[in-house]
Chains A and B, each alone.
Chain A
Amino acid sequence: MPLNKLNNLFGKSPFGPVQDHMKLAHQAAERLGDFFDAVLANNWADAQQHQQAISKLEKEADRIKKSLRLSLPNSLFLPVPRTDLLELLRMQDRIANRAEDVAGLMIGRQMKIPAEIAEKIRDFVTKVIATSKQAHTAIEELDELLETGFNGPEASFVEKLIEELDSLEQHTDTCQVEVRTALFAIEQDIPPVDAMFLYQVVGMIGEIADGAQKVGSRLEIVIAR
């Protein structure tokens, strides 16, 4: 059987796997909502289950990331720069990683959330999940973008999605400031180590939103060529 030249000419398109990866990353972030509900209800058995689910999603995302990186050699000719695509993947991966870090840390230390800031933190998590969802929505457009050659009305549509993503991320920023302020007001009443770690958790949750925003800005660079 001759080595068919045409058949070998086509590399595996990276866009499908990138979309799959983002889906998993977003699912991990989404699960953080359920995780916090369980923690706030003091239901540690459920929380543990959610944490394990998040960890599993993160591992699956990692697997896709690794195989994608290996299947993107320099000899491939892509419609978008390879470096941008790998950077995009890195940012998506950060979403899954941070979700896993948050859940892992809280389970590991059995962290209780003080009642005074419970509602604010829960609201913050919801807003962060919304940014990750928006990033996911934008990445879902990759196949349509490829179809239209990354320009025209489709590209403008995705740019709008990215603008919305930016404003969502700004909301999470203000929200984070509020949470920190509330935490600062009560930090004297809780054990210092717990307070330290709470600050850290808030920071990590914020990084999920940052990651989501950076996914958007990378996508923007990919389009604007």
Chain B
Amino acid sequence: MSIIAEHGQLLLLLACLFGFFMAWGVGANDVANAMGTSVGSKALTIKQAILIAMVFEFCGAYLAGGEVTDTIRKGIIDPDVMADNPGLLVFGMLSALLAAGTWLFVASVMGWPVSTTHSIVGALVGFAAVGISVDAVDWGTVGQIVSSWVVSPVLAGAISFGLFMSAQKLILNADKPFEAAKKYIPFYLFLVGFMISMVTMTKGLKHIGLGLNFTQCVLASLVVGLIIVGVGQLFLRRIKDEPIGDGRFRFAAVERVFAVLMVFTACAMAFAHGSNDVANAIGPVAAVVSVIQSGGEIAAKSALPWWVLLLGAGGIVFGLATYGFKVIATIGTKITELTPSRGFAAEMGAASTVVLASATGLPVSTTHTLVGAVLGVGLARGIGALNLRVIRNIFMSWIITLPAGAGLAIVFFFIFKAFLG
């Protein structure tokens, strides 16, 4: 109790700092995966990609990031166990943030593929299980989260496989692919708009005080879908069926039509990423804020303060602007294998899965989901070559990141306790 009264302001400031640092990491490292494909397939320039990423990451984080934040804030650690010791919860959250942030930073420097989601979840579980007691961890929720890490790539793969097969059937294998593309791509556009807005409205808008009932959600999503189709049509109209380059590749014009679609799926991807990954940074911040503001009460029911989401969204955008720019520039020139017709299927599969996970409050790893989606397209014989060794690396990163995050969190936790406790 006395800790909270004594150091309340300091702890709050630290939480915001660490949270911003973590959000910066999320924006700097992960965004390339959402946007790199569009830059690689020349659907967008780097500048456009950064702008789109900023707008949609921010919207995703602010409009649809609440549910996952709640899970990170109070789903993983059982609030009842911590009730008589709010100070420990604050220390724990601070150390989890610092641990995950540090681990991400180290991994980035060393060039290891790690997931922001895995590091924060590992850190939370680590400090609670060792620093408090094994009972302090809500193992049921943790089990759900871990199983979602397996389910989400599979689901994304299945969706992208289906989407790509349908695109093949309807467009690529039609007698006149170009005309078919112009005819069917608006339907896909509608699907993108409808799906993203539907999930956001039914689940995400609660915390900004915009509760709509289900019928209203459907109607609003229909409108959003139609608006997207309209905007897409403006772009589509400009594309003419003429050979490009040396004319050796007859599907170049068709791919240009797909590129329009891909720009929209890239927006969806950025939105989905923001909605899910913002929680990794601000979930712990929100927990600290609620404890300190209630003067040491661990209220499981407290509302998520809007400015905390804003802090996270701002941090992501800041990370994008300072470092993500460079990342996209390097990645975008390399991912040329994912042509727009493939990229749209992969991004749409991943974005749908991630937004769905955000709605149910499950923190998934965006990158792993996207990898699953790309594999789905590969299974549909859509990609020239996929490097399966990378899948092994991803498994390794899972295995390494969890104990690393946990170990660091435990160390920081005891340091905080020694100095402030």
- B173 and A5 within 8 A (CB): no
Residue B133 CB within 8 A of the other chain? no
Residue A192 CB within 8 A of the other chain? no
Of B107, B112, B374, B381, which one neighbours A9 at CB under 8 angstroms?
Answer: B374
Interface size class of B (residues with CB under 8 A): 35 or more
- A151 and B173 within 8 A (CB): yes
Cα A76 to Cα B388 in complex, Å, equals 6
Residue A84 CB within 8 A of the other chain? no
A152's nearest neighbour on chain B, judged by CB, is B173
Q: Which of B107, B339, B368, B388 has the most CB of A within 10 A?
A: B388
Residue B240 CB within 8 A of the other chain? no
Cα A148 to Cα B380 in complex, Å, equals 10
Residue B370 CB within 8 A of the other chain? yes
Chain A residue contacts of B334, Cβ below 8 A: 7, 10
Chain B residue contacts of A148, Cβ below 8 A: 168, 172-173, 251
A143's nearest neighbour on chain B, judged by CB, is B249
- B331 and A4 within 8 A (CB): yes
- A10 and B386 within 8 A (CB): yes
Chain B residue contacts of A189, Cβ below 8 A: none
Q: Chain B nearest CB: distance from A32 CB in Å?
A: 25
Of A5, A13, A143, which one neighbours B367 at CB under 8 angstroms?
Answer: A5
Known A144-B251, A148-B173, A149-B172: A6·B385 in contact at CB below 8 Å? no
Known A6-B36, A6-B37, A148-B173: A79·B384 in contact at CB below 8 Å? yes
Interface of A, secondary structure class, is: loop
- B341 and A10 within 8 A (CB): no
- A77 and B113 within 8 A (CB): no
Residue B175 CB within 8 A of the other chain? yes
Of A79, A143, A150, A153, which one neighbours B383 at CB under 8 angstroms?
Answer: A79
Residue A2 CB within 8 A of the other chain? yes
Q: Chain A nearest CB: distance from B386 CB in Å?
A: 4
Known A2-B29, A75-B388: A147·B251 in contact at CB below 8 Å? yes
Cα A143 to Cα B255 in complex, Å, equals 13
Interface readout for B89-106 with A: 1 if CB under 8 Å, 0 if not? 000000000000000000
- B385 and A2 within 8 A (CB): no
Binding site for A on B (CB under 8 A): 29, 32-33, 36-37, 107-108, 111-114, 168, 172-173, 175, 248-251, 255, 326-327, 330-331, 334-335, 337-339, 341, 367-368, 370-371, 374-375, 378, 380-390, 393-394
Binding site for B on A (CB under 8 A): 1-15, 75-80, 140, 143-144, 146-154
| A/B interface sample: 29 pairs, CB < 8 A | A2-B113, A3-B112, A3-B393, A4-B32, A5-B394, A6-B32, A6-B33, A6-B36, A6-B37, A6-B367, A7-B36, A7-B331, A7-B335, A8-B387, A9-B374, A10-B386, A10-B387, A11-B386, A12-B385, A14-B385, A15-B384, A77-B378, A78-B385, A79-B383, A149-B168, A149-B172, A149-B173, A150-B381, A154-B173
